[in-house]
Amino acid sequence: MKSVARSLRPTAETIRIATLALALLAMISVVLTRVGSATSARPLVVHITIWPNLDITVAPKSFRRGTVLLAIKNRDRVPRAFSINGLETRKIEPHKILRIRVTFTRADVYSFTLPGYVPTPETGWKSVGGRLKVT
Domain tally, the chain: 2
Range of the domain at 97: 44-134
Q: Calculate the dihedral angle through the C-alpha atoms of 10, 13, 14, 17, rounding to the nearest 10 degrees.
A: 150
Q: Are residues 48 and 23 in the same domain?
A: no
73 vs 61: CA distance, rounded Å: 16
Provide the strand spans (E) within the chain.
44-50, 56-59, 62-63, 66-74, 83-84, 87-88, 97-104, 108-113, 130-134
Q: Are residues 72 and 17 in the same domain?
A: no
| Residue range 1-59, pLDDT digits in tens | 555 555 667 788 878 887 877 777 777 776 665 555 555 678 999 999 999 989 999 99
90 vs 81: CA distance, rounded Å: 5
Q: pTM above 0.75?
A: no
81 vs 69: CA distance, rounded Å: 17
In this predicted structure, what is the pLDDT of residue 5? Answer: 54
Q: Are residues 119 and 58 in the same domain?
A: yes
Q: Are residues 48 and 114 in the same domain?
A: yes
